[in-house]
Structure 1
Amino acid sequence: MKLPNYKTFLAVPILLLFISAGILITQYSQTGEWFQRSIELKGGTMITINTENRLDTANIERELREKFHPINVRETRSFGGYGTLIETSSEIDPEEILDELEAMGIETEDRSIETIGPSLGATFWSQAQLAIIIAFIFMGIIVFVIFRTFVPSVAVIMSAMSDMVITLALMQVFGIELSLAGLAALLMLIGYSVDTDIMLTSRLLRESEDKTLSDKIRRALKTGLTMTLTSIAALTALLLSAISPVLSQIAMVLIIGLTIDIMNTWLMNSVVLKWYCEKKGLI
């Protein structure tokens, strides 16, 4: 039986990249924003109510929406119990929401209120975008300095960029808002992505020539998958422990990103590098 040309594997990550771009474009056409942002990055008020027992967040959101808009209610868990997060506009008085909750029979004594103005949220957002741009610039410079060849360097950068785009698109699919914690996770994802890509590229371009190209890729695959799957296992444990909402979001975003990185590294970057080595006679 004739095996398929290895270059056809490129179709999978490229197709998923185009689908992800379509999701982000659709999000922008409908809302005017490429992705959902938390109140930390757009401004607003967050009310956190801690309880020993789980509250019916769907019913709370339905009741509050009759009097307040916009409103978003979600649940968090921790070792200490349950938390209910209520997000709304900074123009709405949080005391009015608390009064409504008490009228519904919900205790609100253990609560905290965080308000971020729209201008401060916009400042956080502009600084966050700048941080990601600077991270990509320095990452690109370091990659070009290390390998000093155009195709392998661009392959590493494109793989990291694809990880970011697809992860952001999947965050929209799963309803995960982009927050400061999510941005921290995306910056960490750049490091994870470049780490495995540099390892793969170094194995193929710099290891001794007594091994075949396929052997080098197999050895790199074994090392790379061990690194990534170990990280995913640790992050899954962190997510299931539900220590805090911040850590849970970081873990969730990184699990998505690292899963996508497996595909981009071994179905895109490795294919491009193998094609490059064959063209240059580095077999």
Structure 2
Amino acid sequence: MGVKDFYQKHYKKLFWIPILLIVLSLLFLGVKYASTGEIIKRDVSLKGGISANLITKEKINADELKIFLSSRLKTDVEVRTLVDFATREQSGLIIETSSLDSDGLKEALKEKINYSDEDFSIEEVGPSLGEAFFKQMITAMFIAFLLMIIVVFITFRTFAPSLAIVLAAFGDIVITLAILSMFGFELSITSIAGFLLVVGYSIDTDVLLTTRVLKRKGEGSVMDRVFGSFKTGITMVSTTLIALLVAYFVSTSIVLKSIFLIIIVALIVDLFTTWFMNTAILIRYCNKKGII
């Protein structure tokens, strides 16, 4: 039995896989919010605190420094290493803490690392400002998603296919958010770029699929058009994933890595929401409307 025959026989069962993932993701995020007060960890840019950059050639163990600073400052501390792109050697550190005691952080660091003031920079974000940034980020996501819904419904002018695209995009965001939250990903101001790209890119294959199935009725049967779209869509996603994976492992920028990671996870999730859920809804719609 080929892939096409298998899918044609079992697409109604496969439909429930992304539905189950969406439900489990919503449950996980709900439990996470009830227990911690947030659905995903936020860095200092969104909750307030200190972000310090330290340029040093010393080889520092980030985990040991994190434990030391946490005990000295009596608060949670995150330590990440900076790597030189050319030599791949450690070139500095980024230290983030919810504490606003910058003097205490400097004193603690000097006990472990020799550095000059020129090699050290610090940014402080107040809790109220961080919360304001977070609310603005949520608003931007909501507006982007709403505009996407409007464009989809105007383009196709049919309820079920348009709803299928919107549901797939919603699933991409919710499942991606749950996966990232599960593995301790920290949301930052720059992460909004990744999620905004997800909103746009997640509907690419859905629009391709819906357009070919509904508007190219002379190109074989519904299942033929579905698998024609599948070949094109898989090629698009595969090439994008390869490029993003290379960029993720080559890049030394934490900002770029976080954006790449969000899109990589969302693209993998989109394979399930598009080809298991959206496609099943389209096939049922075509059968109901007598579209051949």
TM-score, structure 2 normalization = 0.91
Aligned to 2:241: 232
Aligned to 2:61: 56
For the residues of structure 2 that align with 1:186 and 1:248, how far apart are their CA atoms?
Answer: 13
Cα deviations across residues 113-146 of structure 1 (Å, max 9, x unaligned)?
1111112112211111111111111111100000
Q: Does 1:71 align with 2:77?
A: yes
Aligned to 2:100: 91
**CA separation of 1:211 and 1:266: change in aligned 2, threshold 3 A:** same
Report if the CA contact (8 A) 1:77-1:242 is conserved. Answer: no
For the residues of structure 1 that align with 2:281 and 2:48, how far apart are their CA atoms?
Answer: 43
How much has 1:54 moved relative to structure 2?
4.2
Instruction: Tell me the SS of whatever aligns to 1:115.
Output: strand
Cα deviations across residues 68-114 of structure 1 (Å, max 9, x unaligned)?
1132223343416433221112432x232222122124546523211
Matching residue within 100, 110, 113 for 1:102 = 110
Report if the CA contact (8 A) 2:66-2:78 is conserved. Answer: yes
Cα deviations across residues 139-166 of structure 1 (Å, max 9, x unaligned)?
1110000000000001100100110001
Unmatched 5+ residue regions in structure 2? none
How well do the aligned residues superpose, as a CA RMSD in angstroms?
A: 1.8
Instruction: Tell me the SS of whatever aligns to 2:186.
Output: coil
Report if the CA contact (8 A) 2:15-2:276 is conserved. Answer: yes
Q: Does 1:24 align with 2:29?
A: yes
Residue pairs, 1:1-283, within 5 angstroms: 4-52=9-57, 54-68=59-73, 69-79=75-85, 81-82=89-90, 83-92=92-101, 94-107=102-115, 110-283=119-292
How much has 1:208 moved relative to structure 2?
3.1
Report if the CA contact (8 A) 2:72-2:108 is conserved. Answer: no
Letter in 2 for 1:75: T
Sequence identity percentage: 38
Report if the CA contact (8 A) 2:176-2:269 is conserved. Answer: yes
Cα deviations across residues 196-236 of structure 1 (Å, max 9, x unaligned)?
11111001000133411111011101111111111111111
**CA separation of 1:126 and 1:272: change in aligned 2, threshold 3 A:** same
**CA separation of 1:107 and 1:126: change in aligned 2, threshold 3 A:** same
Instruction: Tell me the SS of whatever aligns to 2:60.
Output: coil
Instruction: Tell me the SS of whatever aligns to 1:282.
Output: coil
**CA separation of 1:253 and 1:108: change in aligned 2, threshold 3 A:** farther
Report which stretch shifted further, 36-45 or 138-147: 36-45
Report which stretch shifted further, 128-137 or 111-120: 111-120
Cα deviations across residues 158-193 of structure 1 (Å, max 9, x unaligned)?
100110001111111221111122111000001111
Letter in 1 for 2:157: R
Letter in 2 for 1:247: L
Unmatched 5+ residue regions in structure 1? none
How much has 1:5 moved relative to structure 2?
2.9
For the residues of structure 2 that align with 1:77 and 1:168, how far apart are their CA atoms?
Answer: 27
Letter in 1 for 2:53: T
TM-score, structure 1 normalization = 0.93
Report if the CA contact (8 A) 2:83-2:252 is conserved. Answer: yes
For the residues of structure 1 that align with 2:116 and 2:182, how far apart are their CA atoms?
Answer: 32
**CA separation of 1:136 and 1:53: change in aligned 2, threshold 3 A:** same
Instruction: Tell me the SS of whatever aligns to 1:45.
Output: strand
Could you list the structure 1 runs, at least 4 aligned residues long, displaced by more than 4 angstroms after superposition. Answer: 1-4
**CA separation of 1:222 and 1:76: change in aligned 2, threshold 3 A:** farther
**CA separation of 1:238 and 1:61: change in aligned 2, threshold 3 A:** same
